[in-house]
Chain A
């Protein structure tokens, strides 16, 4: 288990660093986040899921508060 944790953490850290580098490179080369969001929404209806989860979260906060 200990060696498993070590290997998984190394892989995760490397992947996170690689992802951060990719995002950084994209941001520096002129990525447009609204355009990305629009593309994802047109493909997976991301905005609909986002609004649904936001409503559920607000409802839970209201009930629990």
Chain B
């Protein structure tokens, strides 16, 4: 998967350890061995990179890489594949190269692309050997083959290349509770809280995964993985509202009579506006009726129509005033008393 663009803020903020730690948290939908293999392969890529920042820019973000792996990972097929390989290793058949897990192939493709862009150190080319020299080797006593250093292996031979890296990585690190932990007893790898993903990243997470779901049955755990940052954001320090009982009783004793007085005081203008609204609307309707029934002269008719419109307009205003007193002022007074009581008589206490 070729990265379409870089995210400078995220790339600058993270380093290898943080990248791997966050990637490890995002890959919980994979089997533990596969996850550690993938992490080891990414760790190997960091080791081989000329500059870590270049590789980080190439990889863009742990989330993107998790999406890449999610699209190429099917837990059910992987289980079947592992079973087949175990049978082959027991002597029931050969392990075919084509049966490599797709996620390893996708990481290998990624590594080849990175190598093509010159992100990795140049591969040391073994010295050219004459054909005759090969014949000498054939005749000579069998020399114990020294394992090729990982750096010298060809880029395309990804599985054999990363085998040592996987072992080395597993020897140093393990994942416990979704965090990268050093086995050497030292300080655990930095496992900072994942930063809130930018909007583009979130879209990048949602879209490819949904596409992948159409193609491959992605495990159920994957959805939980993608929602992980939100869950962690919700882990704010928990507080609990605790009531001061004495203050609460005191407040209720004073607030109820004061509230009733306030409501009574507001009822006066409320009922006044209601009565005036009824009067104005009734008068407007009567005048409007009279305008069409008792006037024959146009000038008088216009005056009466104008008067009816004005009366109805004032009636509408007073009706709205009545509604506002009922639904706004009185209800607002009750809500204000409750809010004030909550503010004075309750306090936030951290949960122990």
* Chain A residues close to B by CB (< 8 Å): 1, 4-5, 8-9, 11-12, 15-16, 18-27, 29-33, 35-36, 39-40, 42-44
Contact = CB atoms under 8 A, between A and B. Distances in A.
Given A4-B320, A39-B295, A43-B290, A27 B303 contact: yes
B299 A1 contact: no
A61 to B, nearest CB: 19
Given A15-B313, A16-B310, A44 B300 contact: no
Interface of B: 286-287, 290, 293-295, 297-310, 312-314, 316-317, 320, 323-324, 327-328
Contact of A20 (B293, B300, B306): B306
A11 B327 CA distance: 20
Contacts of B295: 36, 39
A8 B308 CA distance: 18
Contacts of A9: 317
A44 B290 CA distance: 9
Contact of A23 (B298, B303, B314, B317): B303
Nearest to A31: B299
B299 A30 contact: yes
Contacts of B297: 30-32, 35
18 contacts: A4-B324, A15-B310, A18-B306, A18-B309, A19-B307, A19-B310, A20-B306, A23-B306, A23-B310, A24-B306, A26-B304, A30-B297, A31-B299, A32-B297, A35-B300, A36-B300, A39-B290, A44-B286
A1 B306 contact: no
A32 B313 CA distance: 24
B316 A40 contact: no
A43 B309 CA distance: 19
Contacts of B298: 26, 29
Contact of B309 (A15, A32, A36): A15
B304 A36 contact: yes
